[in-house]
Structure 1
């Protein structure tokens, strides 16, 4: 599956209705964004079971603001509707492949339960 363009109207629905979603926040004028684009696209073609979305921060300024994007490119990864990765900077192909494998293996329900238990202990 190739990447899809996400907008303020489609972002939340896409995140909630798919198991894993990778989102690349980018802009046309951004050199590192243009360098990362082929890596992101190649990963989307290798992982057809995952949704890959792109948010043009110039066209979707309100969405970028709501996502608290401070620099681009920024990659966010959602699993079962939960943000599990949020990092600015372009990843090399091997790092993106590794991230995808880690997210696929992540038991997000268990991770949330553990985080909640830790938070209760801390309070």
Structure 2
């Protein structure tokens, strides 16, 4: 599956209505973003059951601001509507593959309990 362009208009729908969604926050002027692009695209072709989205931080400044993106590229992973990972920096292919496997292996009932407990503690 090719990557999907995410915008303020479709971000919520895409991340809420798909099991696993990887999001690459990037910009055309960013050399590390351009270097990471082919790695991300290759993973999107390998894992057709996962949505691979891209947010151009120049075109979608609202989204970048909403998620507090300070550095690009930043990779975010949403599973079942819950952000389970967010970290800046380009990843080598092996690291991205490892991240995907770890996300697949998550016990989402346990994740929801942790999120609920964190929310109650605030």
Same fold? TM cut 0.5: yes
Distance 1:59 1:118, change over 3 A: closer
109-118 vs 28-37, greater mean Cα deviation: 109-118
Aligned equivalent of 1:37: 37
Distance 1:59 1:102, change over 3 A: same
List runs of 5+ in structure 1 lacking aligned partners: none
The alpha-carbon deviation at position 110 of structure 1 amounts to: 1.6
Aligned equivalent of 2:13: 13
Whole-Å separation in 1 of the counterparts to 2:10 and 2:74: 18
Secondary structure of residue in 1 paired with 2:48: coil
List runs of 5+ in structure 2 lacking aligned partners: none
The alpha-carbon deviation at position 65 of structure 1 amounts to: 0.6
TM-score, scaled to structure 1: 0.93
The alpha-carbon deviation at position 107 of structure 1 amounts to: 1.3
The alpha-carbon deviation at position 116 of structure 1 amounts to: 3.9
Secondary structure of residue in 2 paired with 1:69: coil
Secondary structure of residue in 1 paired with 2:43: helix
Aligned equivalent of 1:100: 100
Secondary structure of residue in 1 paired with 2:7: coil
Q: Deviations over 1:37-90 (max 9, x none)?
A: 000000000100000000000001111111110010000000000000000000
RMSD: 1.6
